[in-house]
């Protein structure tokens, strides 16, 4: 589903000829909607009394939505309809996150969480890499005659794959429901005991804001300004995946050896400088652009995944396994709002004219520079100036 579906959603939006601003909305507004639903996740758990049943229902609905995406491309290129469907997709995806993290908190011993999540992520990356390569080839083959047929095929693969994954999750062990141990008590972020958790959520939310000023427009930049075709797109995405595979296990070992905090600081520093690298690549000779893009994408994937794994582990450490569904829902709720506003800012900046500014060679380069400024500010305040705040 990730390799054949989500990897090429941005390319699908570009195929439908939406503007940069519309694509930013499609990539961020659904995350906002998904985040606002988070507070109900905890209540649903206590009604259903089973993480497994919740996730199975979400998986089935998520798989059906891939067929709906095909329907939009086949019958109506409506921006509004697609926005509603993508919003539903992210609602379902976000509602999976809190119960899944809580479930893994029970099953995985703290002393090996870094290695476990890194190894799990590496396996997912290998499978996603294979499916993404195949999907990229499919899109390239059909791009000469009927690009939509290529998207229909890879989205159908995503539909089938998500259904199959439902079978495997249904076989996993689930700890018995205990109302006493999982009641979500009211969390007071102003209390001293939750100070680090509060700072962690604020830091993560602000950093995601700075990330999504630029992130939704990356594929647009590749295809419009760097002139990549679907084959080039597949090479960059999958070449980056292949090279980044070698760094994931190393990150997992570093988390277990040195703790989550140093990995968070180093990963966010790497993410911070990425917009500058994408700005610089535009100035290279044409023959160097594609290989440089593969290298930058590889480092980007390592940094992002290191950031995600270490943040999840840090939350489990600070909460000590208590009220995870509740706190994870609040975390996603706050993060989603700032992701949306980051995308909104990036989309707006991409629509402006910068022809009078000498250092700007394409409108998206201004978005990169603004994104870098925000990332630098957040990193400096939380990771450098107040490094022990979370």
| Domain spans, the chain | 6-171+188-385
Q: For the chain, report the end-to-end CA distance as a whole number of angstroms.
A: 34
**Domain 6-171+188-385 belongs in CATH node 2.30.40.10:** no
Long-range contacts of 375-380 (CB under 8 A, 24+ apart): 375/207, 375/210, 375/211, 375/268, 375/271, 375/272, 375/275, 376/272, 377/210, 378/203, 378/206, 378/207, 378/209, 378/210, 378/268, 379/207, 379/268, 379/269, 379/272
Residues sharing a CB contact under 8 Å with residue 359, sequence separation 6 or more, in sequence order:
365
Q: Say if residues 135 and 338 touch (Cβ distance below 8 Å).
A: no
More reliable by pLDDT, 205 or 51: 205
Give the tens place of pLDDT for each residue, 281-297.
Answer: 998 998 999 999 999 99
- What single-letter DSSP state applies at residue 362? S
Q: Does 181 score more than 70 pLDDT?
A: no
Q: Does 185 score more than 60 pLDDT?
A: no
Distances in Å between the Cα of 221 and the Cα atoms of 4, 6, 233, 363 are 21, 18, 11, 10
Q: Does 9 score more than 70 pLDDT?
A: yes
Give the tens place of pLDDT for each residue, 35-53.
Answer: 777 767 777 877 888 888 8
| Average pLDDT over the chain, rounded to an integer | 84
What is the pLDDT confidence band of residue 196, given thresholds at 50, 70 and 90?
confident
Q: Does 61 score more than 90 pLDDT?
A: yes
What is the pLDDT confidence band of residue 272, given thresholds at 50, 70 and 90?
very high
Out of 46-50, 138-142, 363-367, pick the least confident.
46-50
């Amino acid at each position: 589903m990730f390799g054949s579906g989500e990897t090429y959603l941005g390319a699908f939006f570009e195929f439908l000829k939406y503007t940069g601003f519309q694509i930013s909305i499609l990539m961020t507004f659904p995350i906002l909607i998904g985040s606002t639903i988070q507070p109900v996740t905890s209540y649903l758990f206590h009604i259903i009394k089973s993480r497994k049943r919740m996730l199975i229902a979400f998986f089935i609905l998520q798989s059906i939505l891939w067929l709906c995406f095909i329907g939009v491309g086949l019958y109506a290129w409506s921006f509004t309809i697609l926005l509603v469907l993508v919003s539903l997709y992210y609602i379902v995806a976000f509602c999976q996150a809190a119960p899944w993290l809580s479930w893994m908190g029970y099953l995985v011993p703290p002393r090996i969480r870094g290695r476990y999540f890194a190894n799990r992520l590496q396996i997912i990356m290998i499978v996603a890499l294979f499916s993404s390569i195949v999907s990229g080839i499919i899109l390239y083959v059909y791009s000469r005659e009927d690009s939509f047929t290529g998207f229909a095929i890879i989205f159908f693969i995503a539909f089938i794959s998500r259904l199959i994954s439902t079978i495997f999750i249904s076989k996993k062990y689930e700890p018995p429901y205990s109302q006493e141990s999982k009641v979500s008590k009211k969390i007071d972020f102003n209390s001293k005991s939750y100070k680090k958790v509060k700072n962690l959520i604020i830091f993560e939310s602000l950093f995601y804001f700075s990330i999504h000023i630029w992130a939704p427009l990356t594929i647009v930049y590749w295809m419009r300004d760097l002139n990549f075709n679907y084959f080039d797109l597949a090479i960059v995405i999958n070449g980056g995946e292949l090279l980044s595979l070698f760094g994931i296990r190393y990150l997992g070992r570093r988390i277990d050896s040195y703790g989550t905090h140093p990995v968070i600081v180093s990963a966010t520093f790497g993410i911070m400088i990425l917009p500058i690298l994408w700005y610089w690549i535009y100035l290279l000779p044409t023959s160097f652009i594609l290989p440089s893009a593969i290298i930058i994408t590889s480092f980007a994937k390592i940094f992002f995944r290191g950031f995600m794994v270490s943040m999840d582990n840090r939350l489990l450490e600070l909460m000590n396994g208590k009220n995870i569904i509740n706190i994870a829902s609040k975390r996603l709720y706050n993060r989603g709002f700032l992701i949306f506003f980051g995308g909104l800012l990036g989309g707006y900046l991409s629509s402006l004219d910068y022809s009078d500014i000498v250092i700007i060679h394409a409108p998206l380069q201004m978005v990169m520079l603004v994104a870098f400024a925000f990332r630098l500010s957040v990193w400096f305040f939380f990771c450098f100036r107040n490094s022990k705040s979370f």
